[in-house]
Amino acid sequence: MYDVIRTFGADYILFDIIFLIIFLFLLIKFNKKISIFAFFIGGLGINLLVDWGIWLHTGIREIALPLNWDVFLFFLWFSLSYGVEYAYIFIMFQKKSDKLGWTALVFGGWLAIAFLSQFISINDSSIMTLRHMSSLRFIEIGILIIGYGLLFLLKYDWKKISYLFLIGFLIHFMMEFSLLISGIRPGSLLILIENSLIEFNMGIPFFYMFYDKYLKRKFE
């Protein structure tokens, strides 16, 4: 097993906040109510709770911040940044949505953030985040198997299940690839593919069932 490490300058946060503002503006403009809901609930209700509330206090997550930085405020941004993933998948769940356009926006935005923070020096104060995977991987694989097993048991079409798996792979791959190719995340293509197959994908079946059975009837 291995550790997942990210090392970046403080100006990465600045560029990411600009992207988050643009992304939220477009969600509001195009009336993506479910995705706006997913952005905040996923980012703050899931990622902040797990990353800051559990992992940081149990030693699974470690961070190194510039002097006098507030740890909670850092995790507030860090979690909202991951909110893009949650918003994206609910856009992809919808039949009538510009899937290619939103994919290009998210992938292009993440690449721009990564490379702009490397090439434009605004604040190069170093930040490091580290996540120990040894105690988590088998749990993640178990959740993945249970989730997709439920989809089969509930008799969802295999084409739908394959599409959902592709979405889960794609959203994580896009983020991890932008970090890997810009030198922010050390690793290899093999590790990138492994993470993309499992990490966000394990939640996709549960998110889709919630969308299919409840959210689309209420909001669409």
Residue 166's pLDDT is: 97
Residue 2's pLDDT is: 64
Residue 123's pLDDT is: 86
Q: Quick one: which H or E segment has residue 131?
A: strand 126-132
Residue 168's pLDDT is: 95
Residue 220's pLDDT is: 60
Beta pairing partners, 4 = 131
Cβ neighbours, 10 Å, residue 218: 8
Residue 17 in tokens? 């906040």
Identify the residue whose tokens are 């206090």: 57
* Ranges of residues in the chain whose predicted pLDDT is under 70: 1-2, 134-135, 219-220
Residue 162's pLDDT is: 96
Residue 140's pLDDT is: 87
Residue 29's pLDDT is: 96
In 3-state terms, the chain is what percent helix, strand and coil (to 5)? Answer: 70, 10, 20
